[in-house]
A and B are shown apart, each in its own frame.
Chain A
């Protein structure tokens, strides 16, 4: 087999000048399970140098976390390393005694985790959790260790470190928590820093801040960084060298820029094309879909493991597994046909199709849903003593007006806590609006779902973020789709079953899935069922609340393709709620930007995401990690999180965080709506042409800095 061979032949150090700090060679990791022994990682080699950061990219199940954790010998009790070597500063970790290994954990090896809230102990204050590391490894006393913890927090740009040290994790926001975890990992100035999806659980704006911080720390510290992520956009900000993993093996390993400009493995090519590019051409195209799914570890194909899903496959690929070969200047690929792999742009043009542009001018807009001054308030809790003890309402959504046109998609963007989900729930009636009016084709809808007639109920459907939670685990897939057909569509049992099978086909699932239970399906398949169920009622509007966020990138692409296909066929309107601006841009005809329950910008998708935009939109756009290292981006960063909807700032709600705040006028007065081109509207005190000028200036500076 090609296991191990790959490591021997590879020379990943060739491109980098620095000293290799962390070297993995020919690593095999096995799990013993009920299904037998599974080889989760096979013959993997990599090297990370000082000041360098190595990006480990792959979808879920690719073995990237197993590789990182196995290399530092932190595996579940049923996992073990069976072959290979792992050297940290020349010391083989696999040879160390458990005690010696523990002495390295936390001192030479620092780890940053995906979810900072669960990575910190809920019942211990931050200061103690940080200082513990210094006490353990640096032999400091309590006071000195706390002092060091405070300094580290200041180094990761934590506002008011002294106060933060006395807090418990649940009292801090996600971004602050991740800074604490990063500070904790850096307490002992480790040689190796493992970052396992450190920004995946964070908001885009917070993600941008944390990525900036990591990039800065990388310059300041000489730690080697092993950066694990599924997001190709994120690695452009952090990594120097990238390895693409698939089902436990490297498919390709190369320098960052090479990976994007000249990938030499079909899997990399597919990964690049299955997510929409934020800075992509205005001409929209469908996304690349990778057929099939990642193979199970006990059913690996004999030849190339990617062959069954590969568009470049030939007979020889299925016979022997190709080794990971250096094809020149440290570019490693495990593809026999690497010479035939085309440049990404060319490939994209060949395998995707142009989508009919929804030209605003030629399509006559037909209003489907109008929301007028919709307001959703919740009963709040009493304030602290002395504040009058009056219940302050939680102002989740305030005077928000928007329209959805027939056959079009309205994208809603904003950070978490901006009220975007509440807007959708108010429209469908799950969270009744406390004021305002919602009309469907001109007819006013009662605010509560229960008060709406069935015919109206069927017109608006919803697809939720988490398909695991939105499908009943004891009801079959067929039942889930049949139910709206009989309940809202008034169909008989027989007809409903036949229709349900058609719907399964429409979402590209085999009819045999009819009798399956949700747990037998993958995440993407479950979401397809949820989409089929939403379409079953023959709705005019489907509210999609982050429908793709919890899924793997390749699955996201195919779901977006599906949504667009169904929209064209059924002329259904969507309201697409997401924090992912690339996806929103890809799917939407119009975009609404929401901040703290208020609309701040609204208009055609193209106009909203281009200057002049609202300063909040500008910040969101500049925070998007673009999967292209050549795109210059402004560095506009928003500190902190969206304030509580109980303490809405006066004047413009965005002013405390606004980088372009004018001062008094923004603090005291509600901003006016300013009319731009077409139906583009921005709610800001700064006039549009002024915004336009300021924003062009910032972009010019960023481009200069990028090229310098």
Chain B
């Protein structure tokens, strides 16, 4: 009797041993995938990086030169997306967490946000083309691209802001309201400042996404090549992600411009993951020394 029990226990721990092995292997595989891709890009791209590469426009029908207009275009589009998405997202989140009563309308808004989060990026591109570029007649421009990207990251910003607002202790609100401060003043002066670091770090991850997206800007803002820099928000721009796509698939000499492509990929990855990494580091610091 004792013997069979012993064997079954052994078997059960053997089972566990194998399961944990598979689980660890899965995690390792994912980490290796990320590490491998990053390492490959860095090793192949670092040679192309130079001051000229960052600060000069492409030359010789994009087979030589740098990426300055594309980098600048991506910065403009990302800032535009922030200007659109951040205020709308934060205010939406304030309404949902601080003001709204649970009910049909809030349920509809939440489903709307979830569905918006699931809209494929290329459909955002079609929306931007059909609505901003054609219907509102903005043309292919920084404005149309920024609006498209801004709405693309809206759900991310709302989600991050809601989480940060919910993390502010209820006692903060109660103390303020007890002093006779109005609800709006309480929200603006007490709740929002306490939640702001959380809102920012969460939103930065969405902003990183805006910087790296290609499909939404293909028909709304990105130019194959423009020699001149944009002078207004109604101008087309080059953008890093689209520039990579163009060089890798439609360039004049795809094999010959490989170093250029690796370099551009490295710059984009450094930009996007750099933004993400900043958010991750700030967040983990914040968690360690929370004031309440």
Q: Do A and B come from one complex?
A: no
Binding site for A on B (CB under 8 A): none
